[in-house]
């Protein structure tokens, strides 16, 4: 059997049908998708995924947290080759983020099983229960269960906005939080995740597939600038300690350093608030967030430090205070070079345009990497870079190329 | 009787006692004062003011909205000379804003009556019911009643945060909103208001008294910068339309233009919010307010226009939108030159240091000016420029100099 046959096997209308079917579960009443872990639309989507697999004669396994696996047992007792992505969506998100990788995994498995039968290594696809943390601050819940990284008692200590604990939400979906440790897997050798790019690079360059060499480091900090409240009429410009003006200078400095850091590095101030927040009072305090990302740890550390120092200096020069508080730190994750090479070889041999790139967003892949699993990702273009939005869209042609690359990759890894 | 005798007549301990007494009514449980129109502490303060006046044999008149006047009828049928300020406070404000001018008016009247008896012109002091609009969006309610500027039905259409209409609040304080038109006065010739500076200029220059030549024009606008939401990881720096970064540039431009406009001109961005306001999403929209003040209408108009144009240009250069909405416009109010001269002459002859200055804040004086009343204001220093804060403070020595200047001024105007 030729290694290139899989291209012709991914049928456009089947792909379109799967996307359409999944979009039924959790359609947001206004626009987009809202399929949140341990809710009825999420249960229905997991059931539909199982039904698809069962219809292909693929064995379905649900783990303790609700991750759904489709398993094609291999001929040899070798580590599993796993593919898939998450089945949950962002709040009022789109049809593609996560979902497309889950569908791609199912279609790759189905195609390979139909045409090549039993693999050498066990080949599995997965619908990961929760990546977006749209309901709970659950921080890659599904992938952490697989990686054995959930702390004891964690499910009891995280609550949704209605005060329901994650543990109770699991029970309401028929899952037993006491069994979480059983979800841990130590028999997965490789994970390949297909995902939308969530950025404009592939579209801008007219390339069908991104081969992800690293997932960025992400650092988020909460910053506080403390000046002094003054009467907006009574206080002359030169007597002010205006926290808004200082924050504006900081934002300009952060943006300028982000440009100096260069692509794929980025820095974002996404939230800003002034206190007391009255038009006629010079702001005493401003809160803002900084999100700094770069896939190279040394570059990331250097520029994160330069940004903090710039803010400190701006505050000090005005006799003001600057404080920062770490909200989140996710280290960078390099892809496994051998897996990367297999993907590149597959795309190349299939005549599919690709480029190596880094991921500016976090993914389940980085969590499985922490369990020592070999990994790499395949990106497909996001129209206009849209993501976490009802506007998410990837052209069917690009999707087919992405799934073909995935299928060929899995073939080379598992057969 | 010499024109300079009033200096020696203002007794420091009496002034201190009045400030202490008024601070009982509406002391905030944490710190500072909260004496809001048509509430029990406000009623008690008005009653205490009346008691003070009655104890001096001064006739008390309460008008339809609850302004309390103390009246010393004049020997001649000439327009009244009025002094005073507002009795209400900012939310968690201080002991001096408004209150000090009201106390000063009472003490000036008492001193002049005790020592010089019946004036030529009718001499009146007033505790204006509401200037801060701390409870209702009532916009100089007390002064507007005197100036005849309250619209019919207005009391029924303004509500506090509990949904109580201004009309019902009046009724609860024993006042009849149907009688509001009767509060209008057309027999006031001159109004002199003593007030704290609410800025640091007098303190910084070591001057006891400010003679206010004009009250600034105040323009407040709500601004909207519209960019595009993007994934903070997926979207490269050069592909963004980041509303926070554009707003930061606008704030820098506004601040730079405010410095160019020069003192006493000021511009303030006191409120800023980004949407969606998530650390990992490039902001689609930023709302902020601009407050621009200058006492010279031509300068005000020029710089307000330059600021708007700068924001438009910053938005246009980035392919973004900028919109602004007028929240408030109060034209500048010039003091009456003759009244200004009387105050300067009084301070000068009393050997009290003074400077001419403008007010960066709005005051009841500007509303009475709209009714054709001749006017000017006397400022006393605000320690560290603090105002609308429990930290408000003016040294007793400066207060005595301010009240002495007021007393001498009223003597020269009314006797």
- Closest residue by Cα to residue B274 from B304, B310, B232: B232
Q: Is A299 exposed, middle or buried (0-12, 13-18, 19+ CB in 10 A)?
A: middle
Report CA dihedral (B275, B280, B282, B288) to the nearest 10 degrees: 30
Query: Average pLDDT, stretch A380-406?
Result: 95
3-class secondary-structure state, position B143:
helix
- Closest residue by Cα to residue B211 from B108, B357, B368, B360: B357
Within an 8 Å CB–CB cutoff, is residue A333 touching chain B?
A: no
B1 band by pLDDT with thresholds 50, 70 and 90? very low
Contact B279 A266 (CB under 8 A): no
Q: d(Cα B191, Cα A369) in Å, to the nearest integer?
A: 77
3-class secondary-structure state, position A278:
coil
Q: Which residue in A266, A271, A282 is closest to B270 by CB distance?
A: A282
Contact A231 B293 (CB under 8 A): no
Tell whether the model's pLDDT for residue A326 goes beyond 90. yes
List all residues 6 or more positions away from A239 whose beta carbon is below 8 Å from its beta carbon.
A230, B199, B200, B204, B385
Q: Is A1 exposed, middle or buried (0-12, 13-18, 19+ CB in 10 A)?
A: exposed
Q: d(Cα A243, Cα A281) in Å, to the nearest integer?
A: 11
Tell whether the model's pLDDT for residue B2 goes beyond 70. no
Cis, bond preceding B224 (omega within 30 deg of 0): no
Tell whether the model's pLDDT for residue B9 goes beyond 80. no
CA-angle at B39, arms to B36 and B41, nearest 5°: 80
Report CA dihedral (B176, B182, B185, B191) to the nearest 10 degrees: 0
* Span of A76-80, B1-5, B222-226, B305-309 with lowest mean pLDDT: B1-5
Tell whether the model's pLDDT for residue A1 goes beyond 90. no
- Kind of pairing, strands B321-330 and B217-226? antiparallel
CA-angle at B75, arms to B74 and B79, nearest 5°: 50
pLDDT tens for B244-278 read 999 999 999 999 999 999 999 999 999 999 998 98
Q: d(Cα A256, Cα A249) in Å, to the nearest integer?
A: 11
* A85 in Cβ contact with A102 (< 8 Å): yes
List all residues 6 or more positions away from A412 whose beta carbon is below 8 Å from its beta carbon.
A3, A342, A345, A346
Q: What pLDDT is attached to residue A249?
A: 98
Q: d(Cα A175, Cα A43) in Å, to the nearest integer?
A: 11
Q: What pLDDT is attached to residue B206?
A: 97
Q: What pLDDT is attached to residue B10?
A: 87
Average pLDDT, chain A: 95
CA distance B286 to chain A (A): 9
- Closest residue by Cα to residue B177 from B65, B278, B284: B65
Q: d(Cα B355, Cα B193) in Å, to the nearest integer?
A: 16
Q: Per-residue b/e over A65-79, b at no fewer than 16 CB within 10 Å?
A: bbbbbbbbebeeeeb
Q: What is the DSSP string of B192-234?
A: EEEEE-SSSHHHHHT-SEEEEEEEPEEEEEEEEEE---EETTT
Residues 257-296 of A with CB under 8 A from B: 258-259, 263-274, 276-283, 286, 289-291, 293
Average pLDDT, chain B: 95
pLDDT tens for A327-364 read 999 999 999 999 999 999 999 999 999 999 999 999 99
Query: Which phi-psi region, left, alpha or beta, contains residue B244 (left: φ > 0; alpha: ψ -120 to 50)?
Result: alpha
pLDDT above 90 covers a percentage of chain A that reads: 93
A9 band by pLDDT with thresholds 50, 70 and 90? confident
Tell whether the model's pLDDT for residue A305 goes beyond 80. yes
List all residues 6 or more positions away from B180 whose beta carbon is below 8 Å from its beta carbon.
B64, B65, B145, B150, B155
- Closest residue by Cα to residue A379 from A5, A96, A15, A14: A96
Q: Taking the mean position of all CA atoms in its chain, how far away is CA A295?
A: 15
B8 band by pLDDT with thresholds 50, 70 and 90? low
pLDDT tens for B27-37 read 999 999 999 99
Q: What pLDDT is attached to residue A376?
A: 98
A406 band by pLDDT with thresholds 50, 70 and 90? very high
Query: Which residue reads 């710089």 in tokens?
Result: B303
- Using an 8 Å CB-CB cutoff, list chain B residues near A252: 245, 248-249, 252
Q: Which residue in A236, A277, A382 is closest to B270 by CB distance?
A: A277
Residues 96-155 of A with CB under 8 A from B: none
What six digits make up the tokens of A86?
A: 């998450």
pLDDT tens for A208-252 read 999 999 999 999 999 999 999 989 998 999 999 999 999 999 999
Q: d(Cα A219, Cα A358) in Å, to the nearest integer?
A: 16
Radius of gyration of chain A (CA): 23
What six digits make up the tokens of B315?
A: 């938005």
Tell whether the model's pLDDT for residue B114 goes beyond 90. yes
Strands (E), A42-146: 59-62, 68-72, 80-86, 123-128
Tell whether the model's pLDDT for residue B152 goes beyond 60. yes
Contact B268 A200 (CB under 8 A): no
Q: What pLDDT is attached to residue A388?
A: 87
Query: Average pLDDT, stretch A260-273?
Result: 96
Residues 177-216 of A with CB under 8 A from B: 197-201, 204, 216
Alpha helices (H) along A148-222 = 154-157, 166-172, 201-205
Contact B198 A278 (CB under 8 A): no
Within an 8 Å CB–CB cutoff, is residue B5 touching chain A?
A: no
* B397 in Cβ contact with B330 (< 8 Å): no
- Using an 8 Å CB-CB cutoff, list chain A residues near B195: none
Within an 8 Å CB–CB cutoff, is residue A2 touching chain B?
A: no
Q: What pLDDT is attached to residue B388?
A: 87
3-class secondary-structure state, position A300:
helix
- Using an 8 Å CB-CB cutoff, list chain B residues near A281: 268, 270, 388
Q: d(Cα A124, Cα A122) in Å, to the nearest integer?
A: 7
* B108 in Cβ contact with B50 (< 8 Å): no
- Using an 8 Å CB-CB cutoff, list chain B residues near A382: 234
Q: d(Cα A297, Cα B391) in Å, to the nearest integer?
A: 48
A8 band by pLDDT with thresholds 50, 70 and 90? low
A412 band by pLDDT with thresholds 50, 70 and 90? very high
Q: d(Cα B368, Cα B148) in Å, to the nearest integer?
A: 9
Q: What pLDDT is attached to residue A7?
A: 54
Tell whether the model's pLDDT for residue A12 goes beyond 50. yes
Q: Report residue A190: phi and psi, to 5°.
A: -145, 140
Please give, one letter per residue, the 3-state secondary structure of B162-185.
CCCEHHHHHHHCCCCHHHHHHHCC
pLDDT above 70 covers a percentage of chain B that reads: 98
Count CB neighbours of A263 within 10 A: 16
ipTM of this predicted complex? 0.88
Q: d(Cα B200, Cα A296) in Å, to the nearest integer?
A: 50
CA distance A9 to chain B (A): 31
Q: d(Cα A200, Cα A202) in Å, to the nearest integer?
A: 6
In B, minimum Cα distance to A218 occurs at: B233
What six digits make up the tokens of A119?
A: 């693999």
Q: What is the DSSP string of B50-114?
A: HHHHHHTT-EEEE-TT--EEEEE--SSS-PEEEEEEE----TTB-SSTTHHHHHHHHHHHHHHHH
3-class secondary-structure state, position A359:
strand
pLDDT tens for B179-220 read 999 999 999 999 999 999 999 999 999 999 999 999 999 999
Contact A231 B198 (CB under 8 A): yes
């Amino acid at each position: 059997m030729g290694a290139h046959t899989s291209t012709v096997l991914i049928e456009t209308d089947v792909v379109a049908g799967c996307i359409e079917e999944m979009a039924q579960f959790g359609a947001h009443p206004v626009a987009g998708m809202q399929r949140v872990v341990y809710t009825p639309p999420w249960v229905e989507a997991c059931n539909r995924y199982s039904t698809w697999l069962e219809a292909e004669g693929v064995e379905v396994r649900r783990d303790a947290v609700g991750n759904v696996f489709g398993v094609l047992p291999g001929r040899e007792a070798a580590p599993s080759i796993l593919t898939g992505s998450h089945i949950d969506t962002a709040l009022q998100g789109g049809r593609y983020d996560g979902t497309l990788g889950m569908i791609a995994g199912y279609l790759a498995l189905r195609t390979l099983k139909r045409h090549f039968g039993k693999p050498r290594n066990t080949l599995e696809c997965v619908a990961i229960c929760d990546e977006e943390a749209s309901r709970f601050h659950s921080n890659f819940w599904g992938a952490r269960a697989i990686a054995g990284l959930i702390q004891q008692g964690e499910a009891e200590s995280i609550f949704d906005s209605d005060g329901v604990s994650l543990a109770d939400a699991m029970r309401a979906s028929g899952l037993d939080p006491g069994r979480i440790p059983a979800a841990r897997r130590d028999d997965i050798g490789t994970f390949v995740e297909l995902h939308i790019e969530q950025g404009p690079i592939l579209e801008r360059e007219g390339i069908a597939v991104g081969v992800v060499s690293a997932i960025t480091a992400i650092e988020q900090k909460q910053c506080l600038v403390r000046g002094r409240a003054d009467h907006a009429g009574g206080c002359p410009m030169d007597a002010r300690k205006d926290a808004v003006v200082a924050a504006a200078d900081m934002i300009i400095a952060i943006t300028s350093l982000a440009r100096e850091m260069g692509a794929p590095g980025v820095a974002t101030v996404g939230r800003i608030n002034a206190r007391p927040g009255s038009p006629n009072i010079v702001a005493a305090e401003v809160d803002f967030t900084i999100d700094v990302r770069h896939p190279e740890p040394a570059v990331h550390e250097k520029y994160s430090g330069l940004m903090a120092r710039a803010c400190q200096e701006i505050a000090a020069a005005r006799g003001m205070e600057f404080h920062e508080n770490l909200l989140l730190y996710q280290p960078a994750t390099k892809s496994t070079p051998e897996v990367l090479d297999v993907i590149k070889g597959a795309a190349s041999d299939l005549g599919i345009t690709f480029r190596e790139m880094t991921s500016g967003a976090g993914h389940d892949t980085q969590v499985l990497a922490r369990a020592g699993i070999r990994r790499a990702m395949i990106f497909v273009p996001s129209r206009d870079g849209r993501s976490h939005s009802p506007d998410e869209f990837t052209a069917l042609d690009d999707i087919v190329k992405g799934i073909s690359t995935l299928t060929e990759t899995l073939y080379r890894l598992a057969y």
